[in-house]
A and B are shown apart, each in its own frame.
Chain A
Amino acid sequence: KQEVTQIPAALSVPEGENLVLNCSFTDSAIYNLQWFRQDPGKGLTSLLLIQSSQREQTSGRLNASLDKSSGRSTLYIAASQPGDSATYLCAVRGAQKLVFGQGTRLTINP
């Protein structure tokens, strides 16, 4: 059974810092991995999708990497801004469903 873990559970940093969020999964037989952003009480916004054959994907200040063999992914956020404050979720996809981690609650302090 696939298990997804995200570390840390919460992170608070000053504005402008670069930061890394971590995601690990137990079964490397994945189809792809998706990073989401969730604001309090809101829906899921897809940030990046990495296929199992890819090593990384970039979108603006975000860069996600994938090491399928070791069951790890990282989300790198450059030059953080207060508007980046949210919970970031990692989800891996097997045949059909997404399996989600618990999320990292990120706070960027002005």
Chain B
Amino acid sequence: EPEVTQTPSHQVTQMGQEVILRCVPISNHLYFYWYRQILGQKVEFLVSFYNNEISEKSEIFDDQFSVERPDGSNFTLKIRSTKLEDSAMYFCASLGQAFDQPQHFGDGTRLSIL
């Protein structure tokens, strides 16, 4: 069964550095999402992306964050000037052409900011 792939599985970065989290969504999917889960807290929506532009973003998704689909297969989340509170598990998800289908999630990237 096709799956969403995220790399790396664990990223350790010094505070103030930039990180790029990578995702390969399911190949024929059209809608892409990033969510995050701080340890012990709810999974929170960050941003949705469709037709090469952001379709919705949360209050969390400020100028520190950006997303990009640089080619036909990758979907990336960039975090500039990381802070301690950015430490979390980041999940990528994708959704196919039929809007009534489930969102498919990757296994996540655990981001640790030191």
Q: Is the CB of A51 within 8 A of B100?
A: yes
Residues of chain B within 8 A of A89, CB atoms compared: 43
A98→B56 contact, CB < 8 A: no
**B22-36 toward A: CB 8 Å interface, digit per residue (1/0)?**
000000000101010
Partner of A49, one of B31, B41, B48, B101: B101
Interface of B is mostly: strand
Give the secondary structure class of A's interface. strand
Number of interface residues of B (CB under 8 A): 25
Decide: B105 and A44 in contact? CB cutoff 8 A: yes
B91 touches A (CB below 8 Å):
yes
Interface centre among A44, A99, A103 (most CB of B within 10 A): A44
Q: Do the beta carbons of B108 and A49 come within 8 Å of each other?
A: no
8 pairs of A and B residues whose beta carbons are closest in the complex: A43-B107, A97-B45, A100-B43, A44-B105, A49-B102, A96-B48, A96-B56, A46-B102
Q: Which residues of A does B touch, CB under 8 Å?
A: 31-32, 34, 36, 41-46, 49, 51, 89, 91, 93, 95-103
